[in-house]
Amino acid sequence: RSKAEGRNTYRFFEAKMGEEAKGRRLIEHELRRAVSGGELKLVYQPQIQIDSGEVIGFEALLRWHNRRRGDVPPNVFIPIAEESGLIVELGDWVLLEACREAASWDEPLTVAVNVSAVQLHSQEFPHKVHDVLIRTGLPPHRLELEITETALIKDMNRALAALRQVKSLGVRVAMDDFGTGYSSLSNIRAFPFDVIKIDRSFIKSVDKNEQAAAIVRAVLGLGRGLGLPVMAEGIETSDELRFLTDEYCAAGQGFHLGEPAAIEHFDHIVRTGSRFGKRKAAAAAAS
């Protein structure tokens, strides 16, 4: 390879990098306007108690629809929002919107809200949570904050202090995507979690894959030993659900039990309770 060729490759690489950075900045700019422009909305995915089949709560998931780009997936725009700091503004919107929605339900179901590391580590976070609970009137125990392990390792002391503060309000905290981050086992003991959510990568084909099954059983044992309920994420088939039922997994979430959708779709559940969920889960388990 000649030197000139190397230089050209480098220039090409530089140009590509420049374009990628430009693309990210453009998304960032559009995302900034999305907040005020009404392009954001929340969808809700049911969370089900496996033994009874009852809906116990909903996870709020952020959606961004841009006129030009169409639907931009969270896996694309959340990281950009985190790097630019815009996630704080987005997160404030999500928290208020989700709590306001949940406060309007007749049934006392939980609403789970994802909190990014940047939000958790900002000094005002616990105060903001308190403020939103006061403003919306949502009882604290009906709010569950979902936090990933990666959010904890940035500054363990700060994270622990923030979690203790929100816990002291009566808010619940969940460890999200368990098993995919670092030093899982020490985190689960050091932080005051109320529930462990096993990442969906371990639930996929858990009924057929011995290794996945071994990991899931280990996490269920861990939960039992620590007195923490475990929720399985990403249940897509009746066989996966049956495995989790047989292993006494407390709760579950996934396309097989209910896809994320506008809250209107779940109106009967939030108005009249989980009888729908019961029937649905029973039917799902039998199918």
**Stretch of 44-52, 69-77, 121-129, 227-235 contacting Mg ion, by CB under 5 A:** 227-235
Task: Tell me how far, at minimum, the Cβ of 284 lies from ligand C2E, in Å.
Answer: 12
Runs of H (alpha helix) within 70-154: 74-84, 87-103, 117-121, 125-136, 149-153
Distances (CA, A) of 183 to 150, 170, 189, 233: 10, 27, 11, 20
Which range in 135-143, 180-188, 252-260, 276-284 contacts ligand C2E by CB under 6 A? 252-260
Q: Tell me if 23 contacts ligand C2E by CB under 6 A.
A: no
Give how many residues touch Mg ion by CB under 5 A: 5
Structure tokens at 91: 């997160």
Q: Which of residues 177-216 bind ligand C2E (CB under 6 A)?
A: 177, 200
Interacting residues of 47 by C-beta distance below 8 A, sequence separation 6+: 55, 56, 57, 58, 59, 110, 112, 231, 251, 252, 253
By C-beta, is 30 or 144 nearer to ligand C2E?
A: 144
* One-letter identity of residue 118: V
Residue 247 binds Mg ion (CB under 5 A): no
Interface with ligand C2E, residue 84, by CB under 6 A: no
Closest by alpha carbon to 144, among 187, 183, 196, 179?
196
Nearest to 111, CA basis, from 103, 119, 123, 121: 103
Min dist CB 37 to ligand C2E, Å, is 17
Q: Select the span of 5-13, 17-25, 228-236, 270-278 touching ligand C2E (CB under 6 A).
A: 228-236
* 176 scored as a contact of ligand C2E (CB under 6 A): yes
d(CA 11, CA 17): 10
219: partner contacted, choices ligand C2E, Mg ion, none (Cβ within 5-8 A by kind): none
Which residue in 74, 79, 85, 108 binds ligand C2E (CB under 6 A)? 74
Q: Please name the amino acid found at residue 10.
A: Y
C-alpha angle 95-50-117 in degrees, rounded to nearest 5 = 30
Binding of ligand C2E at residue 260 (CB under 6 A)? yes
Q: Of these, 47, 114, 187, 274, which contacts ligand C2E (CB under 6 A)?
A: 114
Instruction: State which of positions 133-192 bind Mg ion (CB under 5 A).
Output: 146, 176-177
Closest among 14, 51, 6 to 274, alpha carbons compared: 51
- What are the φ/ψ torsions at residue 262 (nearest 5 degrees)? -60, 145
Please report, as a single letter, which amino acid is at residue 236: E
H or E element that contains 60? strand 55-66
Which of 1, 5, 68, 73 forms a contact with ligand C2E (CB under 6 A)?
A: 73
Residue 215 tokens read as: 């990991």
Smallest gap from Cβ 208 to ligand C2E, in A, equals: 16
**Nearest distance from residue 176's CB to Mg ion, in Å?**
4
236 binds, among Mg ion, ligand C2E, none (CB under 5 to 8 A by kind): ligand C2E
Binding site for Mg ion (CB under 5 A): 114, 146, 176-177, 233
Binding site for ligand C2E (CB under 6 A): 45, 61-62, 73-75, 78, 91, 94, 114, 116, 146, 176-177, 200, 234-236, 253-255, 260
